[in-house]
């Protein structure tokens, strides 16, 4: 596709971008497949990155970088080295330097002596000040963010409360397991990320029996009459309700929470892997329908005490 320009205000949160999102200087703000959260958009606006660009190829990235870093100016105002993007000629049309040549100070002085009023050059891969501040703020934010055991407990309890209300089932949450990386397998899976005081990618996976049992209670249609799409839609709705309640609980404490839309994946033995997550905590939940797993990406070192990352075992009754 051609490069598409968008205002930052028009962006919407996404669990996984379908193309690269760039600043005007060609810096990749969020890459294809990465999430876009309210925190990213808040930082972009805060640091005056008002215009962003969608691209889907390396050539388009280079084109955008060239566009931002190409200037036309008097040679005495330029700092070497810089590459000519058009021929430099005398006022009479005589060629002084060809397109593509790199101008050092000696060349710029020569152009001035020949009375060249302006040349078009590429300055390199300079970043806008706003882009630099965006990356610095994001790095600082990530360094300070960690999903706490208390927050994990709140997620699990909130989800079991919502499921209990809609399914009238007893749900049992088992003690968590600290894992390297983040990967899971199931017939249905949902991926989303949360951000705020803490940030984390989250994956929910379920057996088909479990997902179908939940969907049957939500839409009041026998599970054998439900297609995979109908099941995914019903459970996605329930996850959305759970996240809405979770946000209200967090906001009542004076903190903030946002999440990308849950991305449903389904099919026999769906696999979800997030290679950029070094460690995760996995919890199994069970009811009469079947089993599900919540997997939280967390920033914990391999030697950190596993008990610190586990909520206590909780039984939720109807």
Task: Count other Cβ atoms within 10 Å, centred on residue 194.
Answer: 24
Ordered domains of the chain (ranges, CATH): 4-66+126-143 (no CATH), 75-117 (no CATH), 146-316 (3.40.1550.10)
Predicted pLDDT at 82: 87
Burial level of 246, CB count in 10 A (0-12/13-18/19+)? buried
Predicted pLDDT at 305: 34
Predicted pLDDT at 309: 34
Measure Cα distances from 168 to 220, 223, 285 in Å.
13, 16, 15
Phi, psi of 225 (to 5 degrees): -95, 0
Phi, psi of 245 (to 5 degrees): -65, -40
Predicted pLDDT at 318: 27
Predicted pLDDT at 197: 58
CA 49 to chain centre: 17
CA 308 to chain centre: 27
Quote the CA–CA distance of 250 and 15 in Å, as a whole number: 21
Q: What is the pTM of this model?
A: 0.51
Predicted pLDDT at 310: 33
Per-residue pLDDT of the chain (318 residues; tens, 9 = 90+): 688 999 999 998 887 899 999 998 889 999 998 888 877 888 899 899 999 999 988 888 888 888 888 889 999 998 888 889 899 998 888 899 999 899 999 999 999 999 999 999 987 777 888 999 999 888 766 655 566 777 888 889 999 999 999 988 888 888 777 777 766 777 899 988 887 655 678 899 998 999 999 999 999 999 999 999 999 999 999 999 999 998 888 888 777 778 888 889 887 777 777 766 767 888 899 989 888 999 888 653 333 333 333 323 222 222
Predicted pLDDT at 148: 72
Dihedral Cα 37, 42, 45, 51, nearest 10 deg: 0
Predicted pLDDT at 143: 57
Region of 157 (left: φ > 0; alpha: ψ -120 to 50; beta: rest) is: alpha
């Amino acid at each position: 596709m051609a490069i598409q320009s968008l205002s930052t205000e028009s962006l919407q949160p996404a669990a996984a971008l379908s193309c690269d999102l760039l600043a005007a200087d060609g810096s990749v703000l969020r890459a294809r497949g990465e999430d876009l959260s309210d925190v990213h958009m808040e930082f972009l606006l805060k640091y005056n990155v008002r215009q962003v660009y969608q691209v889907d190829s390396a050539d388009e990235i280079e084109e955008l970088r060239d566009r931002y870093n190409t200037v036309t100016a008097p040679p005495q105002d330029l700092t070497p080295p810089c590459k000519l993007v058009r021929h430099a000629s005398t006022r009479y049309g005589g060629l002084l330097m060809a397109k593509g040549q790199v101008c050092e100070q000696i060349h710029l002085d020569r152009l001035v002596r020949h009375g060249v009023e302006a040349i078009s050059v590429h300055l390199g891969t300079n970043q806008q000040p706003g882009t630099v501040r965006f990356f610095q703020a994001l790095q600082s934010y990530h360094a300070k963010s960690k999903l706490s055991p208390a927050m994990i407990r709140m997620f699990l309890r909130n989800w079991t409360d919502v499921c209990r209300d809609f399914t009238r089932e007893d749900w049992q949450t088992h003690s968590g397991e600290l894992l390297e990386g983040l990967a899971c397998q199931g017939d249905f899976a949902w991926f989303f990320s949360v951000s705020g005081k803490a940030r984390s990618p989250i994956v929910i996976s379920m057996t088909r029996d479990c997902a179908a049992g939940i969907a049957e209670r939500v839409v009041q249609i026998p599970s054998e009459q439900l297609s995979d799409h109908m099941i995914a839609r019903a459970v996605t709705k329930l996850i959305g309700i759970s996240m809405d309640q979770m946000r209200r609980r967090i906001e009542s404490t004076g903190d903030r929470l946002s999440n990308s839309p849950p991305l449903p994946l389904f099919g026999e033995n769906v696999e979800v892997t997030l290679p950029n997550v070094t460690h995760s905590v996995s919890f199994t939940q069970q009811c009469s329908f079947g089993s599900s797993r919540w997997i939280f990406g967390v920033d914990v070192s391999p030697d950190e005490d596993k008990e610190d990352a586990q909520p206590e075992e909780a039984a939720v009754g109807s």
